[in-house]
Amino acid sequence: MAEQLTITELLAKNPVVTAPMAGLTDRAFREILREMGAGLIYTEMVSDMALCYNNHKTLEMLPAAAEQGPLVVQLCGSAPETMAQAAQIVEQLLGPAGAGNVVMLDINMGCPAPKIVKNGEGCRLMQQPELAERLVAAVVGAVRLPVSVKLRLGWDAENRNVLPLAERLVQAGASAVAIHGRTREQFYAGQADWQLIAEAAARLPAPVIGNGDIASVQQAADRMAETGCAGLMVGRGLLGNPWLARDMARHFAGLPPLPAPSRAEICRLACRHLRRQMELLGEYMAVRVMRSHLPFYLKGLPGAAAMRGRLNGLNDAAAVEQALREFFGE
Ligand SMILES: Cc1cc2nc3c(=O)[nH]c(=O)nc-3n(C[C@H](O)[C@H](O)[C@H](O)COP(=O)(O)O)c2cc1C
């Protein structure tokens, strides 16, 4: 059972928050992030409708009761009623009445993907403040767990409405706000702008979790000092380099830095990641899911591009492990 700390207390203990990433922050990767010392760990987004329809694949995306918290389950949807119902399903399984490893529910208001915003979900909600507010109020009213929202700066450069919207959503009951420093129109291009994140951190009565482009401990330390955020959320910087969570957590705990992982350690972790996926998903799926992760473990090393091609052609896990060992010289 997770400790009954508030989100503010959890972030004060460890401000390292790992971002939701569809197709990537599944259980195997979350377990690695947990081992590395991350604080709050977000799941990938889960569709509210699919949960309400009892979709098996979607239920399997939820954390298992045995997974160690504190976890945040991110829900994606646009209708207050189904979002509230989905929140109750998660709370009963994994919140105070169930396993207790989920300490917060998050509402996705940042996803820029066309298929999501076309449905009125993700970042589209930032253009509909009234609906966004009703949605937060409905979810907050349906569960005991605290509820966060994940926002971008706004829809586009002319509509950077994150400050008034976040204020409204906190008034509606949101317990924390994560902000990715880009607009929807930017998708992932350009550099994240932390100016409005800093303003939000100064103005909002709820903890603000800043997000965007953190790839080193130095950047994390600078962002924290510049913005006074309660937490820092990291996404892509952890891919192939979950040691960043360890290094950030150590930094914020005042512990001395550890050496960067050796090639042998990277190889061992990549192989262990694959084997854990096999235990959870079976060999066929594990090999395919790892095609998204393994290139990141190889990144920056000579021969990585050719190796990526080679890995994509391999269908059995033993051959993948063998190829990795050869690549890393193990
Ligand atoms: C492959 C991928 C999948 C993502 N999936 C989600 C998601 O399911 N929900 C969400 O709110 N954000 C999602 N994001 C956005 C990240 O959570 C994060 O806001 C963004 O990557 C910026 O942080 P970073 O620069 O540290 O990666 C995704 C990003 C990537 C790259």
**pLDDT in 10s for each residue of the chain, 330 residues:** 445 899 999 999 999 999 999 999 999 999 999 999 999 999 999 999 999 999 999 999 999 999 999 999 999 999 999 999 999 999 999 999 999 999 999 999 999 999 999 999 999 999 999 999 999 999 999 999 999 999 999 999 999 999 999 999 999 999 999 999 999 999 999 999 999 999 999 999 999 999 999 999 999 999 999 999 999 999 999 999 999 999 999 999 999 999 999 999 999 999 999 999 999 999 999 999 999 999 999 999 999 999 999 999 999 999 999 999 999 998
Residues of the chain with CATH 3.20.20.70: 7-252
- Please, what CATH class does the domain formed by 7-252 belong to? alpha beta
Q: Do residues 139 and 84 make contact, with C-beta atoms less than 8 angstroms apart? A: yes
Give DSSP secondary structure letters for 114-151: HHHHTTT-GGGGGG-HHHHHHHHHHHHHH-SS-EEEEE
21 lines ligand 1 (CB under 6 A): yes
Tell me the CA–centroid distance for residue 151 and ligand 1, in Å. Answer: 11
> What's CA 158's distance to the chain center, in Å?
27
Select from 17, 21, 40 the residue to mutate for testing ligand 1; criterion: most ligand atoms less than 8 Å from CB.
21
241 lines ligand 1 (CB under 6 A): no
236 lines ligand 1 (CB under 6 A): yes
* Nearest residue (CA) to ligand 1, atom 13: 21
178 lines ligand 1 (CB under 6 A): no
181 lines ligand 1 (CB under 6 A): no
* Nearest residue (CA) to ligand 1, atom 22: 212
Q: Do residues 239 and 301 make contact, with C-beta atoms less than 8 angstroms apart? A: no
**311, containing H or E segment:** helix 304-312
237 lines ligand 1 (CB under 6 A): yes
pLDDT at 330: 86
Residues of the chain with CATH 1.10.1200.80: 263-328
The fold adopted by the segment(s) 263-328 is: 1.10.1200
Active-site residue (options: 52, 76, 111, 267): 111
Decide if 111 is catalytic: yes
* Nearest residue (CA) to ligand 1, atom 19: 180
Tell me the CA–centroid distance for residue 330 and ligand 1, in Å. Answer: 33
Residue 313 backbone dihedrals phi, psi, to 5 degrees: -90, -5
